[in-house]
Amino acid sequence: MAVIRDVMPAFDLLQPSSAADAQKLLQQHGEEAWVMAGGLDSFDWLKDRIKKPKVLVDLSGIDELKGIRTTGDGLEIGAMTTLTEIANHPVIKAQYGVLSDAVSVIASPQIRNQGTLGGNVSQDARCWYYRGGWPCYRAGGNICYADTPVGRNREHAIFGANRCVAVHPSDAAPALIALDAKFVIQTPKGERTVDAEDYFLGPEIDITHLNILQSGDLLTAIRIPSAWSGAKFYFEKVRDRNVWDFALMNVASAMVVLGGNIDRIRIAVSAVAPKPMRLKAVEDAVHGKPADATTGAMAGNLAVQGAVPLQFNAYKIPLMRNLVKRAIGGVQEATWTS
């Protein structure tokens, strides 16, 4: 975490009371506006005086962006719903347990009380060179300080690096991809809905943004379809300490098993690439196969194909192989291999 250097720079604080007003304000102020949800990412940037927006649009007063609603096809979670509410929601716990498992291990209880689902999936990269205000690629510069012979890159990407090697830090993101969630975005041209995996951007497309939100766009809700309700879920987060830490890696899967064989599956990992990765090749490979350790081992080996470790993060390859193995074969079935 960067050292807090100073008080926040001056900005105009705008506090709309409706999503429509918020979207209009974002459209009006364009690149000069900063969207703040729970503030946990925003205040780091602002107190470090690295980001200096002219206008800050605080979404905390918009009630319509909060809460969990049952729809005809699953659930709709307002983007400003707190992580604690999601973690404790009875329907989510009972039917979409991978999401409650994921959000319940985000950061710390205090942060989950303040942090929101929309903020968690939209937060910026946690690479310390970038957060430290250095002029790296992600900050608009022309170098990646982490991807140098002596760069500290233990937590960085083994897949999808393209000049920038930072990973996506969200724990909720892989769970939402596993649940085939849809992200609802209010844009200047109207409402737009995208698949969870399409919400995130890699540096090959846009090196300065982690998601598709443009100026004037507002993430309003995340819809969880009922297709995966009650499926067999798995979520595991590996981190250096058991509370208040970002993931070294996490895995989320949703699986429907019929007669012992995998009928349907979605599996995603995070903190291995600049965006959460859905493992489509693994899904295809394990379809119709027994949900056991043998299939898990095969899936794990397949998952790490093409990984390119940096100087200090080769450990992520066996870590990913084993997490995928456990997600499919189960913790009891799978034995850890290095």
Partner 1 sequence: MDFITWAISPWGRSVPIHIAWYLIWVALIAGLLFMIVHALYVGIFAAPRKFAKNDSPAVVAAVPERVPRHSLVARAFHWVMAISMFALLITAFLPKVGIKFDWVTYHWIAGLVLTASIVFHIIHASFFLDFRSIWPDKIDLRDAKRRLLRSMGKDVPPPDRFAKYPLENKFYHAVILLSGLAVTVTGVFMMKRVNTLGLFTRNPYLFGDMTWGMMYVLHGLAGVGLIALIMVHVYFGIRPEKLPITKSMVFGYMSRDFYLEEHDPERWAVEKSSPPQKGYAPSDAD
Q: Would you tell me which residues interact with partner 1 (CB under 8 A)?
A: 133-135, 139-145, 147-149, 161-163, 201, 204-206
Q: How far is the CB of 151 from partner 1 (least distance, A)?
A: 9
- Strand pairing class (55-58; 33-36): parallel
Q: How far is the CB of 188 from partner 1 (least distance, A)?
A: 14
Q: How far is the CB of 312 from partner 1 (least distance, A)?
A: 16
E strand or H helix at 267: strand 261-270
Taking every pair of C-alpha atoms in the chain, what is the biggest distance, in angstroms?
A: 62
Alpha-carbon gap, residue 81 to 196, rounded angstroms: 17
Q: Please, which residues bridge with residue 182 across strands?
A: 195, 223
Q: How far is the CB of 32 from partner 1 (least distance, A)?
A: 16
Q: Which amino acid is at 220?
A: T
Residue 218: closest CA among 7, 4, 1, 27: 27
Q: How far is the CB of 120 from partner 1 (least distance, A)?
A: 23
Q: How far is the CB of 319 from partner 1 (least distance, A)?
A: 23
Q: What are the φ/ψ torsions at residue 105 (nearest 5 degrees)?
A: -110, 15
SS3 of residue 271 by DSSP: coil
Say if residues 65 and 18 touch (Cβ distance below 8 Å): no
For partner 1, the closer of residues 52 and 287 by Cβ is 52
Alpha-carbon gap, residue 34 to 124, rounded angstroms: 12
Alpha-carbon gap, residue 245 to 108, rounded angstroms: 8
For partner 1, the closer of residues 96 and 145 by Cβ is 145
For partner 1, the closer of residues 147 and 155 by Cβ is 147
35 CB-near residues (< 8 Å, 6+ apart): 26, 57, 59, 122, 218
Alpha-carbon gap, residue 18 to 214, rounded angstroms: 19
Q: What are the φ/ψ torsions at residue 68 (nearest 5 degrees)?
A: -120, 125
Q: How far is the CB of 274 from partner 1 (least distance, A)?
A: 12
